[in-house]
């Protein structure tokens, strides 16, 4: 089978590419491209299946060109609200992959035309547990990690304001400025305190394990997610992680993360941080190992990549 891939830089793609290349010929179509360029690519390559991440409108030209192959796309929550979705021909999609169960109802509510796709499968995102390896000798200090683009949905001010209440702690604030300039300006004004280290530049994915080695607790304050890869990577590295219970009624973090890692507000988040502080080193290591085991069981990159490969193969049977 010959498989074409679009958007190969997305989360979990390295594991998927490695798995597909073990069994098939794989071609990576690099952007930028339009309908004419993509049509020329696929006509010349004679691919059997084209796999596309649903980000940045790539699915528009994929579903507009003359269909000589099967189409598989993976959809993330934020992409459901993209204005370019109106231009996608969903009837051309042979398989739609969602990263969790609740995404189906969510996607159909906001984009009912998605019901036109021929088939839907749920396959969770995975983590390369060899790259994001567990470090049993790591320290247990007072360093909090936060990762994300600066945008409203990530709610960065929740963690910034919490640091005023934790003067002895350090926040390694990996917050990359985005198109939301006004929000970024507000962040600039509010992070000027001694216990916040603002890392403004995006860290290459291959170097993220080093970031997780420098934190003791990971906090995610997003108002909504489909799955947060940085949380999964931190847990794989053995970092105790706390995730906000999203207020959106259709999105259920308890289907992704352990219940004990969820919090409703920053008061509860702070309480869980202090409860962790009071644990013995042995108890902290136990929680650290539990996080690692959870990822190995539910989000192992090799296992999830294998599921994705079989799903992609299944569209031509």
**Which of the residue ranges 226-230, 232-236, 248-252 has the most confident prediction, judged by mean pLDDT?**
232-236
pLDDT of residue 10: 65
Residue bearing the bigger pLDDT, 193 or 234:
234
Nearest-10 crossing angle of helices 229-236, 281-298? 120
Asked whether the CA dihedral 73, 16, 38, 227 is positive or negative, the reply is positive
Tokens found for residue 14: 């390295």
Q: How far apart are CA 173 and CA 311, in angstroms?
A: 37
| Cis peptide bond prior to 32, omega within 30° of 0 | yes
Is the model's pLDDT at 218 over the cut of 80?
yes
The pLDDT assigned to 208 comes to 93
CA distance 17 to 27: 10
Instruction: Find the mean pLDDT for residues 95-124.
Output: 92
Strands, sheet with 25-29, edge to edge from the N-terminal-most edge strand: 25-29, 2-6, 49-53, 70-75, 95-98, 120-122
pLDDT of residue 35: 81
| Phi (first) and psi of residue 174, to 5 degrees | -85, 80
User: How far apart are alpha carbons 53 and 309 in whole angstroms?
Assistant: 14
**DSSP code, position 204:** P
Nearest to 159 by CA among 206, 219, 210, 88: 219
According to the model, what pLDDT value does residue 8 have?
61
3-33 pLDDT, tens digit each: 988 876 666 688 899 999 999 999 888 777 7
Are 172 and 215 contacting, i.e. CB atoms less than 8 angstroms apart? yes
Helix (H) or strand (E) segment spanning residue 148:
strand 143-149
In a 13 Å sphere around the CA of 203, the CA atoms on its Cβ side amount to 18
| pLDDT higher at 170 or 8 | 170
Please tell me the pTM assigned to this model. Answer: 0.91
> How is residue 185 written in tokens?
């300006």
Which CATH topology does 143-298 take? Rossmann fold (3.40.50)
Here the tokens at position 261 are: 């890692």
Same fold, 2-126+300-314 and 143-298: yes
CA distance 25 to 4: 9
Q: What is the pLDDT of residue 66?
A: 79
Q: Indicate if the pLDDT at residue 34 is higher than 80.
A: no
3-7, 48-52, 145-149: the lowest-pLDDT one: 3-7
Residue 105: other Cβ atoms inside 10 A: 11
Tell whether the model's pLDDT for residue 140 goes beyond 90. no
Using the predicted structure, report yes or no on whether residue 72 has a pLDDT greater than 80. Answer: yes
pLDDT of residue 11: 65
Residue 150 near residue 178, CB atoms below 8 Å: yes
CA nearest to 26, candidates 40, 11, 13: 13
CATH code, 2-126+300-314: 3.40.50.2000
Question: Which two three-digit tokens encode residue 49?
Answer: 């299946």
Distance, CA of 110 to CA of 269 (rounded, Å): 31
How far apart, in Å, do the first and last CA atoms of the chain sit? 11
- 152 has a pLDDT exceeding 70: yes
Burial class of residue 198 (count of CB atoms within 10 Å of its CB; 0-12, 13-18, 19+): middle
DSSP helix, strand, coil percent of the chain (3-state; round to 5): 45, 20, 35
Q: In the prediction, which pLDDT does 82 show? A: 81
Mean local confidence (pLDDT), 248-268: 91
Measured over all CA atoms, what is the biggest interatomic distance in the chain, rounded to whole angstroms?
Answer: 63
β-partners of residue 243 are 220, 262
Residue 179 binned pLDDT confidence (cut-offs 50, 70, 90): confident
Question: How high is the pLDDT of residue 83?
Answer: 83
State the pLDDT at residue 64: 86
Q: How far is CA 97 from CA 74, 139, 215, 243, in A?
A: 4, 38, 33, 24
What gap in Å lies between CA 170 and CA 232, rounded to an integer?
21
Q: Where are the domains of the chain?
A: 2-126+300-314, 143-298
């Amino acid at each position: 089978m010959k498989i074409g891939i679009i958007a190969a830089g997305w989360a979990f793609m390295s594991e998927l590419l490695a798995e597909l290349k073990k069994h098939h010929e794989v071609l990576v179509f690099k952007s930028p491209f339009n309908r004419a360029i993509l049509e020329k690519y696929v006509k010349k390559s004679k691919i059997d299946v084209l796999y596309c991440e649903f980000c940045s409108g790539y699915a528009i030209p994929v579903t507009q060109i003359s269909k000589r192959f099967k189409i598989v796309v993976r959809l993330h929550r934020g992409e459901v609200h993209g204005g370019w979705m109106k231009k996608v021909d969903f009837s051309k999609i042979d398989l739609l992959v969602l990263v969790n169960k609740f995404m189906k109802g969510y996607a159909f509510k906001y984009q009912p035309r998605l019901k036109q796709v021929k088939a839907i499968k749920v396959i969770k995102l995975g983590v390369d547990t060899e790259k994001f390896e567990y470090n049993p000798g790591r320290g247990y200090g007072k360093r909090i990690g936060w990762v994300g683009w600066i945008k409203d949905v990530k709610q960065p001010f929740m963690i910034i304001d919490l640091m005023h209440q934790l003067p002895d702690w350090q926040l390694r604030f990996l917050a990359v400025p985005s198109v939301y300039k006004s929000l970024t300006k507000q962040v600039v004004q509010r992070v000027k305190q001694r216990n916040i280290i603002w890392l403004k530049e995006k860290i290459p994915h291959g170097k993220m394990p080093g970031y997780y080695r420098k934190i003791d607790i990971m906090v995610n304050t997003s108002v909504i997610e489909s799955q947060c890869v940085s949380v999964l990577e931190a847990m794989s590295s053995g970092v105790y992680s706390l995730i906000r219970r999203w207020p959106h009624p259709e999105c259920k973090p308890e289907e992704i993360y352990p219940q004990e890692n969820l919090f409703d507000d920053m008061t509860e988040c702070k309480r869980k941080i202090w409860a962790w502080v009071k644990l013995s080193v042995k108890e902290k290591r136990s929680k650290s190992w539990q996080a690692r085991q959870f990822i190995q069981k539910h989000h192992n990159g090799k296992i999830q990549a294998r599921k994705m490969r079989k799903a992609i193969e299944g569209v031509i049977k």
